Structure 1
Amino acid sequence: MIARIWQGWAAKATADDYQRHYESEVAGHLRQVPGFKGARLLRREDGGEVMFTSITLFDSIDDVRGFAGDDYEQAVVEDAARKALSRWDEQVTHHEIAVDLGP
């Protein structure tokens, strides 16, 4: 299994907007991708901003490509997200799940 990890930052005033976008638009899109196994959005205060870390899980890199395209290390940041975020990582990282202690 592959974990795709990305970070973005939002002003406190727009952080809830980004979270709602992730819960609705991003979640809806991901659920349509073959091989998608789940996602977590982490949130924490970071100075005057809110930092989000997105961790999405896929069966394989080929499934990641189904979501992100051939240049799968490029971040996928939709227009609505760009409006809510002040900055974000342009690149994502991918990691093989070595140990899974989930239920």
Structure 2
Amino acid sequence: MIARIWEGKTKIEHLKEYEEFMKVRALPDYSNTSGFVKLLFLKNTDQQFAYFKLITIWENLEVIKNFAGEDYEIAKYYPEDKNYLIDFPEKVNHFEIFAD
């Protein structure tokens, strides 16, 4: 199995809105992709920003390509992300899961 890890940041005043957007728009997109196993959506806040880490678990790299495209190391964004995110990291990280 492979873990795909993305990190993002939004202004604190957009936190609740962005959480809801992810639940309604992004999470079903992940869940409906064949080979998707599970995800963890983590957050941390300070007085100005909310920081996110999205860890998705996949059966293998081939199924990640079905979700993200052939260049699977490029982060996938939704058009609505521009309403919330402060920056758009180009790459995500992948790690092989050797113990669970």
What is the TM-score with the length of structure 2 in the denominator? 0.94
C-alpha separation in 1, matches of 2:62 and 2:46: 34
- Please name the residue that 1:60 is paired with: 60
- In the TM superposition, what is the alpha-carbon distance from 1:46 to its structure 2 partner? 4.2
- In the TM superposition, what is the alpha-carbon distance from 1:88 to its structure 2 partner? 3.2
- Please name the residue that 2:77 is paired with: 77
What are structure 2's unaligned runs of at least 5 residues? none
The size of the alignment, in residue pairs, is: 100
Give the letter for the 2:70 counterpart: D
Name whichever of 43-52 and 26-35 sits farther off: 43-52
| Cα separation, partners in 2 of 1:69 and 1:77, compared to 1, 3 Å | same
Deviations 1:40-97 (A, max 9, x none): 1100014521100000010000010010000110000111122111113210000001
Secondary structure of the residue aligned to 1:88 is coil
- Please name the residue that 2:42 is paired with: 42
Secondary structure of the residue aligned to 1:5 is strand
CA-based RMSD: 1.1
What are structure 1's unaligned runs of at least 5 residues? none
* 1:15–1:85 Cα contact (<8 Å) kept: no
Give the letter for the 1:73 counterpart: E
Percent identity reads 29
- Please name the residue that 2:90 is paired with: 90
What is the TM-score with the length of structure 1 in the denominator? 0.91
Give the letter for the 1:52 counterpart: F
* 2:12–2:47 Cα contact (<8 Å) kept: no
* 1:4–1:55 Cα contact (<8 Å) kept: yes
C-alpha separation in 1, matches of 2:88 and 2:52: 9
* 2:2–2:60 Cα contact (<8 Å) kept: yes
Name whichever of 18-27 and 69-78 sits farther off: 18-27
